[in-house]
Each structure stands twice: as structure tokens, then as C-alpha cells.
Amino acid sequence: MDKSGHYQWGDGVYTLLSWFRQDRVKQAHVLVAGAGALGNEVVKGLALFGVGRITVVDFDRIELSNLTRSVLFRERDALEHRYKAEVVAERAMEINPQISVTPIVGNLFSEVGFGLYRRADVVIGCLDSRLARYQLNQLCMRAGKTWIDGSIENLTGVVRVYTPGINCYECGLSRQEFNNIMLRTGCADVAHRQASAGRVATTPVSASIIGAMQVQEAMKVIHRDDKQPAPFKTLEGKMLRYEGMTCDVNTYRFASWKRNCPSHERWAEVRQCGNLTCSMTVGQALETLRGELNTTAVEINMRNNQFVDVIASDRPDREFRVMVPDSQLQHLIDTDRELRQLSYKTVFHKHFYENIDQDFPYQELTLRQVGVPPLDVLQVSTDRGLYYVELSGDAPLYNY
């Protein structure tokens, strides 16, 4: 009970655990990438532990085939084509009304503000493609955060923990695996399609076991204390493999940290700017940045999501004004009748902007419209050097 006599989640249960710190768990923020079978189990486990703040990211909708292994989904959710992230958030707060779960329907790389990765205590990957893991690894290394990877197939499951300075997903890829990923990262709309491809058959048992192990590792990260030794061992730099066919569980050393790996880029010195939000126009944002950085010229580097204003088709020879971020282009093509018909028999060429400065012709568009999500961190080039500036004015959208 708290001072007002209200029941606090976990009282009389988790308080019996010698290592468990209820205040730390209640204040923790866990970002979960993927809301499928593993994501269901992970968010359920986090909710039962009483993790105070959870962000769940997924762009997919629920299908009937998901129901066999996703504990939080119902048949009506599939029939109504609801988004996985929204349903997972809703059901998790039904399990534990004392927590906050924020759904983000979008791509983890281009449509989730980097400020959310920076504020997370730990990130959990519940993904089904190498490309998505590669992208999540880049973001976590950039933010200096540990992330916990889970994968399942049939009765088999694997858990790996990646921590900057110890282990990196990209460093562990073979040359062929890395080349295959590079072929798929030419543009954000291709990445979106590839990230939802390659699904394999799984069971609710393997999802439950691997999801539970991921949550357990997340709790260890949350309880990590530099001032005193931990009473537990983690899977940092290791791989746990569960083989349900033979009931074998094995742990292997799985650490790879190579010099000069591009994914090791760290955005350590981020300037918070409460005057910047994604709802500002490009012109307003550039003016604010000039004042914040005390310079006359600034250029926003669109690292994760280029802005596309025009696409052109080969046959027929036509141009189409689209005005969308690259991450939304494929959806536009799929939902526009004329573009959808053309896409089956022609190749589209894009005119896009990788950088935005005073010469950008669409100054009246908002940052959100050109592809900058709320609470993102802008990489800004100036005559005085490179800066990283957070849209901290968006923090209230996530109750920060």
C-alpha cells in the first residue's frame, strides 16, 4: 500500500525478492520493437512485473493467423484489421492499470523519435528479419543502450544480449548476411516491405519461453548498479539457445566487437531544445536552430528518412507529385489506384532531399510532414561543426 492506502502492484510478492527494487521498476522505461508473438509475451511479462513505462512499436495489422501464438490478440481484432501495437498497449494496461503503455504505429528506424531510444533503460527486439535487427542495433549503439534480441522458429528459440563495447549485431554478421542486408537498405519503403517479409512457423510455447527470457534479461539490466556487484549473471555477449525438440538449453559465448564498425557511431552529446517540436514548419525549425547554435547557416541531415517530392515512371513517361517521406512512399503507391496499377509494369524514379536548409523549396511543411517523428534528434551541420539537437518540446507527448 502507498501512503494513501492504495494497493501498489507487486506488494507482498516482488517485495519478497531480495534483489527486486520496486521503485526502480516502476520508474523504468522499456522500448519493445515488434508486437507479434514475441512482442505479446514480452509486453505481458513487463506489465506483470509492473514496469512503469513501455513503448511498443509495430507497423503491422493483426491477421487471423496471428491468433494461434499471440496471447493479447482476439478474433475481433483480426476481423477489424486493428494495429498490433495499439491492441498490445490496450491489453497490457488491462492487465496492469498502474502502468503506461504507448503504441507507435510505424517503422522503428524512421518513425520513432531517437529521443525515445535515449530515454529507454533497455530495448527489447521482437523482430522477424535481419534488416530490422540491423536497424535496431544501429539505433541502440547510437544511443548507448543495451538491447535484447529474441528469435523463434518451430520449437527452437534464441536470446542474445547486445551491449555497446561488448557485443554488436552487425559485427557478428557474415559477409554474405551483411551484403544481403545492404541490398535491401536502398530506401525506406523497400526496408518497410522487407521488414515484414520472411515469416516462419512458430509455436506459442517457443514464443512464451523466449519472450520470458527476454523479460528476465531486461529486469537484470534495469537492476544493474555500478556501485555494487549484481546477484545475477546476464547474457551480455552470449547466446542462449532453446531446442524444444530435444529439451536442450545451451549458452554460448557470442561476442563480436570490431574496430571501425559503422554501427558503433555514438550520438553522445545531444542538446535538448524545448523550443523545437515536430509540428513546427521547416522554416521555423531552421530559424530556431540558427538561434540555438548561434550560427547563420544550418543544414538538417535526413539520416533516416529522406523527403520525396516527385516520382517519375518509365512507362508511361509521367511525373507524379507525392510529397511524402520515403518511409511512406510504398504505402502511397499501394493505396493510390493509378500508382498501384503502374507499379506492376514500370519502375519509379524518385526525386528526393537528403538534406534540408534555407534552399529547401517547401519551407511551409512541418518537420513531421517531411519525415521527422516526435522527440527525434536532428543531426545538424553548421560552419562550426556537427551538432545533435533533440526536439525536446515533444517530450510531453510521451509524458516526459
- What's residue 1's pLDDT? 56
Assigned domain for 44 exists: yes
Single residue among 264, 280, 297 that ends a domain in this structure: 264
Residues 6 or more apart in contact with residue 227 via CB below 8 angstroms: none
Same domain for 245 and 277, yes or no, is no
Count CA within 13 A, CB hemisphere, residue 157: 26
**Nine-digit cell string for 359:** 534552399
Residues in the chain predicted with pLDDT less than 70, given as ranges, are 1-5, 184-200
Question: For the chain, how many structural domains are there in total?
Answer: 3
Contact 33, 124 (CB under 8 A): yes
Q: What is the pLDDT of residues 280-309, one digit of tens each?
A: 999 999 999 999 999 999 999 998 899 999
Assigned domain for 138 exists: yes
Assigned domain for 196 exists: yes
Same domain for 273 and 294, yes or no, is yes
Same domain for 257 and 277, yes or no, is no
Same domain for 288 and 345, yes or no, is no
Contact 89, 65 (CB under 8 A): no
CA distances (Å), origin 210, targets 32, 58, 196, 200, 335? 14, 19, 20, 15, 36
Assigned domain for 93 exists: yes
DSSP label at 84? Answer: H
Contact 380, 261 (CB under 8 A): no
* Integer Cα distance of 155 and 151 in angstroms: 11
Same domain for 345 and 358, yes or no, is no
Same domain for 208 and 290, yes or no, is no
Q: Are strands 348-353 and 307-313 parallel, antiparallel or unpaired?
A: antiparallel
Assigned domain for 191 exists: yes
Same domain for 53 and 66, yes or no, is yes
Same domain for 358 and 345, yes or no, is no
Neighbours of 19 (CB within 10 A): 12
Assigned domain for 4 exists: no
Segments forming the whole domain that contains residue 377: 269-306+354-400
* Integer Cα distance of 80 and 78 in angstroms: 5
DSSP label at 253? Answer: E
Same domain for 301 and 323, yes or no, is no
Same domain for 365 and 323, yes or no, is no
Same domain for 247 and 278, yes or no, is no
Same domain for 124 and 218, yes or no, is yes
Assigned domain for 5 exists: no
Question: Dihedrals φ, ψ of 56, to 5°?
Answer: -120, 130
Assigned domain for 1 exists: no
